[in-house]
Structure 1
Amino acid sequence: MISDVVSNSTDGRSSAKVLPGCNEVSVPAALLKRSLRQAERRGHLRAYALIAPLFLFVLLSFVLPLGTILVRSFHNTTVPEGLANTINAVRAWNGTRQETPPEPVYAALATDMKIAARDQTTGDIAARLNIEQSGLRAAFMKASRRVNARDEGPWKEVFVGADPAWGETPVWGTIRNLASSNNDLFLLSALDMRRDTAGSIVMQPSAERVYVDVFLRTAGISIMVTLMCLALGFPISYLLAHSKDRVANLLLILVLLPFWTSLLVRTTAWIVLLQENGVINSFLKSVGLISSPVPMMFNRFGVVIAMTHILLPFTILPMYSVMRQIPSSYVRAARSLGASPTTCFLRVYLPQCVPGMSAGALLVFILALGYYITPALLGGAGDQMVSYFIADNLTRSLNWGLAAALGALLLVAVLALYYVYDRFVGITNMRLA
């Protein structure tokens, strides 16, 4: 259906020239809808084109590297590819239910060791086995040298002669647990658990349980820092929100000034203040309050104080923005109805501050969970958080799988916390609004 709209230049009115058989009203409406859809589509395409560079930047610089690291927490092909023949032989041996491996299992392992020596992957396989069972690296390297020095078997005597562990069940159970390229061994290690030689999930020995305590310590320090930030940030935010503009601007600059300073510089400044011969101890000595230096570094006190100072602006700013929007007429109305100042504050003013307090607390807690520099410089061995062990496994131990598992669990904890906040605190804020 086609219609032509012609503008009348003499009287300013428009007239429509419609072909026979066409609906005079529906044709322009259909064309208008089509034009609107095309305009909306062009608008969406322009919007997508504008955000495409930012999307690609975030994808290439954040999502892909993070996703690659997280995949390492459950995916590792070193043993499945390096000991493929051995894994098949171990599976066949497990089906026979014999207590010790037969000669074909050792022959398959010898074949894999020769291939690994040719491909120069012996060290990688030995390191991966050693992560699951301490001492396997040395046993694997000794056996590899003896195997590559011979052309034919019998191989069982060669392996047992290199290290008696090859004649025992645990080493073969470790190889069987690593048979799949996708497994939960790193994630279990991050939770102080492991799979035994039978494949069942058991707890690590008490002397080797580390990471559950680390996660609890990280949560405890983060909670303490969050509470400290709320306790110190609330009165500052209240003062900012109820001061004159000139005074409020000056105070806001003082709040943001440390925020603009490098994190490393602020942490180093706290080292100068808290050390045994630092500013605080020297002052306390000079006024006679102490006779010997008070230990304020390499302990929990120094970590909490420094982290509170660094993260305090993240609490003040959300609370300040909310307090600025609270009408003062509410409190005046409550006072005019006979409420005491304490009642006005607790039942009228404070509930309206909950959105800012909850947002600031969530922001500080999440940031505190991933802190690394401040605990590493100011804390002792018992004050290191999860981020320290992630960095240690990445740089010193070179155990990328365990580092990825720790990071994945920390990410899951943050997402769960945000879900709880959005589910419950968000509903509370809506009711208050």
Structure 2
Amino acid sequence: MTTASHPLPRRRLLRGLVAGMLALPLALGACGGEESSDDGKVELSFFWWGAEARAQLTEQALALYTTKHPEVTFKKTWQANQGYFDKLATLTAGNDAPDIFQIDDNYLAEYATRNVTQDLSDYQKSGKIDTSKFPQGLVTYATVDGKLAGVPFGENTQGLVFNKTKLEAAKVPLPTTGQSWEEHIAWAKDAAAKTGVAGTQDPSADYKAFWVWLRQNGKEFYNGSQLGFTQADVQAWFELWKGARDAKATPTPDVIHEGNATDVSKQLVVTGKALTSWVWANQMPELQKNTKDALEVIAYPGDSTKQWPRASMYFSVYKGSEHKDVAADVLNFLVNDPEAGKILGTDRGLPSNTEIRAQVAASTENPSMKQTIEMVKELGKTFGPGPAVPPKGHSTVRSELIKAAEEAQYGRATPAKAAEQFFAAAQAAISR
């Protein structure tokens, strides 16, 4: 029988303290879970973030594993996103990390390079963790310094979501994949004039929009552990969106900030304050759930082949776990078992196993989920090679982009000055 799940208390820890604690040497022999008892039973600790709905689905999938493997039970712990990585840093610093924990690309490289995550490459090569039905880009995006640091648990790509109901009512042509950035801004200006609603959220603070734009201009966000762009690139990006604001294609700075700071259920395309929002495609069902208007999703402007299959999140195995083989089997089960796939659905993104994804698409009654799966499937035909997983410091870089972009949005800094601010802060973040 599994132990009851319980949310952890939220702790606000000083980031400097957390970073210092994470840097402490790890005793690789530390126990990440309970030792096997004499009768061969194993209890694995399993830690993730998410809302209550995700908790219930995860518990159901783990219970299914225990049904098929009665000797394995789980100590399940979950909490909201806020404070999750503070808690994980504390646990790893104390050599008491969970056997299996959820992680995303903000921290994957950091934990892998600090020797916290088990290299799962041997399990992958032997087929004990089967990634043969995953898009190759997902596996690449989970590899740090040649080591498989985590198992991708969902595929995502960038999606531009628009309000079809409002646009059709105003007889405004719908945006289409393949429009240039300048064409998108011109379209948004026209849509705003005809509907009275800002045509597009200003994504100058959105790292994924900036990243796609960079790739379309022959650059990358990162080259290894260095920035892949120049200060001049940032300035050009900020100037592009200053022009859009001046043309009244975007909302006012206060509303732009609201879109930057809020969760997916309150994005501007949902609250009616913009006709488009820049999101991850798998968020479409959650967006649609929060508005009566019909929404649709397309690729970001420009060359869509520069988008890539990005892992929405991963599960990693703690290097200090005494039950690595069992933990690897659990992860393989969760991503490749059809029954588990049916339970988990698209909560963590489109299933990494494309056969499981097709089964979910065929069985779901959620039209926005079907639409999202189809959109990613079509885009997947043109995806180019994905970038490497971001280096340590990426989460700080993201925050610094928001700060600098908002300085420009509010007119407190010119695009040139804001670009200088961000570039210096980004270099410092990845050099620590």
The bucket for the TM-score relative to the shorter chain is under 0.3
Q: Which has the higher strand share?
A: 2
Q: Which structure carries more relative contact order (alpha carbon 8 Å, separation 6+)? A: 2
TM-score (ref. length: structure 1) = 0.25
Q: Which has the higher helix share?
A: 1
Larger radius of gyration: 1
